[in-house]
Structure 1
Amino acid sequence: MRIRSTLLIYWLLLPGLILAQPSSLKQAQLVKVRAGLPHFFEKIKAKEKVRIGYLGGSITEASGGWRDQSLQWLQKQYPQATFTGINAGVGGTGSDLGVFRVEPQVLGLKPDLVFVEFAVNDQGKKPEQIYRAMEGIVRKIWRQNPTIDICFVYTLTADLAPYYQRQELPPAALAMEEIAEHYDVPGVCLGLEVARLAQEGKLIFKGKPEEHPQQLVFSADNVHPYPETGQALYTQALGAALRKLASVQKKERAFVMPAPFVADHWEAARMVPLDRLARHGSWQIIKPGTDSVAYLLRNRFSYLLKSTHPGDYLEVRMKGLACGLYDVVGPGCGSYEWQMDQQTPQLIPRFDSYATYYRSHFFVMPTPPEQAHVIRFRISGEKLNKADILSKRNQRMDDSRRFEENAGYAGQLLLVGDLIP
């Protein structure tokens, strides 16, 4: 392919990646080594089987991207060991869902190293939100096994490139670096070289490769990299960082969990099966073998609860920091009314301008932790103007029958706290 050969030409002509010296937290550098990944590299030296968890969004989930390529790089670099990967990437989601997913989708498979990639999907969130989730991820991993190494990696979009071109971290990545610094976790800027090439006119962020034979084309949409260019640059940056991280030796001392960075971190975040909730009304259990929506989302949920009847609700009795649902957004979805105790319900639409297809989604609402609460997720009778919502992205209803229902689909309870009787 022309795109692959173009990347090779530029890679041979350009100087190699230079590892930046330590500097202020805000400054972007290829790798901030900190405590390194000593347990990971110790297993490699011992010629053991090594499992790597990849927790992130669609950039991580993508087949043939940096996740797959980094496994191939490691296997070639260290042929004495055997590497397998855990794909825990979920498109369109950030660390605020990742903190719930890390236990069942990563830790349950016993990784030796976990890469955490949410810098793109967390962009625009308040630092406090990022602190809670990212700290929760770190503490959950080390609470289960302190010998699991962790590495934060920062990808980019075209909109974020100017930060890196100024050698600065974008706001979301900077918030993550504050957590990384507190816990001595390495951080790697996968997009630093991408931004430099764009600044020099050698790379464009959006386009068709065949229309730009003299430049690298990063992606088709400014966000999701082509495997042969953007993702390959990410992999090469990670490889350069791993070479540096390989030099860090393990410190022989008992592990002590650091004091929290923020008091309201989400270490207690967990997914709870819906069979532990009280169901009121005509909820149906739908499964991949018998329902088309459940089949489409079979890689996310083993089953879903579905209701199309306004007033039907799921009830949770809990105490903690937050409560929500891991659920579905799509053509036949409506809205929930989320109600805490006797307060006025809040409308949570499960249809948006991307809802021409079904995809997993989630919402989490804060709950005052000082007291117990009764939470209800009620199917709303309020009809959404779906045609108007779709028009915001110049989308149309291809078949009005697909959009007629106003259903709620629930997959897992998201809880930061505990259920109570």
Structure 2
Amino acid sequence: MNENVWQHRKPLSRLAKAIETGVLRVGFIGGSITDGRPRHNWPEGVAAWLKETYPDVRLYVENAAIGATGSELAVFRAERDLIDRECDIVFVDYAVNDSEEPSERRMRTREGLLRKLLKDGQRDVVLVHTFRQDFFAEMNAGQLPESIADFEKLADHYHIGSVSMGLYALEEVKRGRMRWEEWLPDGLHPTERGSLSYSQSVIAFLEREMARVQNEKGHADDYSLPEPFNPQHWGEAYPLSFSEIVTEGPWIIRRWLHYIWIDQVLETAAVGARLSFAFEGRGVALGFDFGRTSSEIRYRVDGGEWQVSKRERPEWCGNDGWYRIYTAVEDLPSGNHHFEMEVIHGDGLSCTGTNCRLGLVGIVR
């Protein structure tokens, strides 16, 4: 097997320590390839191997992956879905879902996520790189697709191990172990057989790491967070409380029973309804329970020109249920600002409703 599949940079000291204590919490975050809801994606095989290998350990799995989302949203979810749940190790999968973002943008959001996960020194982090059809030519030539190469720069900087699950599966195809259609019939989402291949690549990584950690002294208690790779990282981003938002019109704050990743939404279906808030930072990212029946918005900062959102609704998009983030503004001068937003109809954008269901107001500092 191609040794470039595995990059071992630092012993998984926190994982080993958790296993010794008898309680292990494993976290996953990424897109649809890692999402736990299909019940056959690669985290299932990894969890099964951990339980089989360490039968006396009480194992908790915190799969926080959401299909059709990237690291831009994950930055704001890290505390709620991984850190506050005391994960001892977190696997991060955004090579595919971030690949269409500009390099500078994804480097900021990815580094923000990694810094949040690493800041308190309480968990190990492993990057896992999946595959999409666009990666084939470069990977087949022994090169790294740009999205993966960017991630590996951060892995080197923060001494994070990584697994190229996509390369492992591609090698299996080349060796005749698996047919392409058994792996990726749509060029992106693995079948059960493809997910098994991905999990096997991670299991091989963990086997090596657990052997290694027995022979090397990890310095988990001496950890210090390196200086930022990119000074514009989103590591200090945070969600703004709905209590700090001023509303005009029929807005309601609801406990959101329809989507497990959102606790509450600030909701209206009234065209012309407005909200505003003051914030200290340099950007605003809004997270919606989004779909074909969702409204569009217009917004402005500090009394400037109004901007209008124009969000596409792909064929697979339903009426709602897509936790979609929209970065309204970034790269403002750091300081105090004022944001205003108004609900509008998305005329001509396959929009069939005016539901505005705001699950997150994220501030970038």
State TM-score, norm by structure 2: 0.91
Do the aligned partners of 2:15 and 2:89 also contact (CA within 8 Å) in 1?
Answer: yes
Which amino acid is 1:240 matched to? A
The correspondence of residues 34-49 of structure 1 with structure 2, limited to 5 A, is 34-44=9-19, 46-49=20-23
Counterpart position of 2:124 = 149
User: 2: distance between equivalents of 1:351 and 1:328?
Assistant: 14
1:89 aligns with 2:65: yes
Counterpart position of 2:41 = 65
Give the deviation of 1:178 after TM superposition: 0.5
Bigger drift between 246-255 and 33-42 goes to 246-255
Q: Deviations over 1:28-52 (max 9, x none)?
A: x1111111312212332x2511001
Structure possessing the higher relative contact order (Cα contacts under 8 Å, 6 or more residues apart):
2
* Secondary structure in 2 matching 1:265: coil
Q: How many residues align?
A: 356
Give the deviation of 1:367 after TM superposition: 4.2
The correspondence of residues 131-146 of structure 1 with structure 2, limited to 5 A, is 131-143=107-119, 145-146=120-121
Q: Deviations over 1:317-366 (max 9, x none)?
A: 11213212111221221211121112212111355134333122111221
Q: Deviations over 1:135-185 (max 9, x none)?
A: 111211222x20311111101122223322222221111111111100111
Identity percentage over the alignment?
24
Counterpart position of 2:326 = 363
Give the deviation of 1:262 after TM superposition: 0.8
Counterpart position of 2:258 = 296
Point out the structure with max Rg over C-alpha: 1
1:333 aligns with 2:330: no
Alignment counterpart, residue 338 of structure 2, candidates 357, 374, 378: 374
User: 2: distance between equivalents of 1:375 and 1:241?
Assistant: 46
Change (3 A) 1:61 1:404: closer
Counterpart position of 2:170 = 195
Give the deviation of 1:271 after TM superposition: 2.1
Which amino acid is 2:338 matched to? V
Alignment counterpart, residue 354 of structure 2, candidates 406, 410, 413: 406
User: 2: distance between equivalents of 1:303 and 1:39?
Assistant: 33
Q: Deviations over 1:208-234 (max 9, x none)?
A: xxxxxxxxx11342211112x110000
1:265 aligns with 2:241: no
User: 1: distance between equivalents of 2:180 and 2:242?
Assistant: 42
State TM-score, norm by structure 1: 0.79
The correspondence of residues 181-330 of structure 1 with structure 2, limited to 5 A, is 181-199=156-174, 203-206=178-181, 217-227=182-192, 229-246=193-210, 247-248=212-213, 249=216, 250-251=218-219, 254-288=222-256, 295-297=257-259, 299-330=260-291
User: 1: distance between equivalents of 2:80 and 2:118?
Assistant: 15
Q: Deviations over 1:354-410 (max 9, x none)?
A: 433312211122141333211112112x54224xx4xxxxxxxxxxxxx64323211
Do the aligned partners of 2:34 and 2:43 also contact (CA within 8 Å) in 1?
Answer: yes
Do the aligned partners of 1:194 and 1:230 also contact (CA within 8 Å) in 2?
Answer: yes
Do the aligned partners of 1:306 and 1:407 also contact (CA within 8 Å) in 2?
Answer: yes
User: 2: distance between equivalents of 1:121 and 1:351?
Assistant: 16
Alignment counterpart, residue 352 of structure 1, candidates 308, 313, 317: 313
Change (3 A) 1:347 1:79: same
User: 2: distance between equivalents of 1:32 and 1:186?
Assistant: 5
Give the deviation of 1:58 after TM superposition: 1.1
Q: Deviations over 1:226-267 (max 9, x none)?
A: 12x110000111111112222033037622221111111111
1:53 aligns with 2:1: no
